[in-house]
Amino acid sequence: MLQSFINEWHAFVQQGGFVMIPLAVAVLILWYAIGYRYAVIKRGNPRSVRRLIRRYREANGQYQGELQPSGIIDSAIVQGLELAKTYDKNLRRYLDDAFSNYVRDMGKYSRLIMTIVAAAPLTGLLGTVAGMIETFDSLMDANLFSQGGGGIAGGISQALFTTQMGLVVAIPGLILGRALDRRADRIERELEQIKDMLCSQDVSHNEVES
């Protein structure tokens, strides 16, 4: 089993040339980063922020059933309400400090994903150039349609394969990365909404007095 995998990997690298190794590594890193962000960027309860704040306040710390925190917005509301009970002055500052952890976690690996998306086609282009160089070398040597994996056929195959591989890495990463960024931006806006509501008179003062 292991030997078969090694043989397939060796053939895979030979087909695309030296750029296949960094592209394969980029695929692994890219999908790990996307998986991490997908697992972290979860809103939680689909109800509106205003309604969730009211429900959690009424629950008075008893978070059971559908009120069990299951995402960033739920956890932020629970944490924000606890802070509102403790701090009357400078509540906004404490909320900013507390919610910055959520923003940092949501943004983790975002730049890495975009870097890989940008670098993968360029790496594939490098393989394309290498393949075309092999093709022209074959023309110089009159080594037409070599059966040993080189020559014009081998050079063109390498050029097309690495270009394809670079696009295969970049396109899904771009689509999913942008989708995760939009989800993170939407949650960040809702976090700001939670801060505004908790710092308003009708929320923060009631929480302190209770």
Tens-place pLDDT, residues 93-140: 999 999 999 999 999 999 999 999 999 998 888 888 777 777 776 666
pLDDT reading at 75 higher than 60: yes
pTM for the whole structure: 0.76
Least confident of 29-38, 73-82, 180-189: 73-82
The DSSP symbol for 65 reads: G
* Contact predicate 71/83, CB 8 Å: no
Contacts 24+ apart (CB under 8 A), 182-190: 183/41, 183/43, 184/37, 184/41, 184/106, 184/107, 184/110, 186/43, 187/41, 187/43, 187/72, 187/73, 187/102, 187/106, 188/103, 188/106, 190/43, 190/49, 190/73
Least confident of 3-7, 35-39, 131-135: 3-7
pLDDT reading at 189 higher than 90: yes
Give the model confidence (pLDDT) of 142-176 as tens digits: 554 444 445 555 566 666 778 888 888 999 999 99
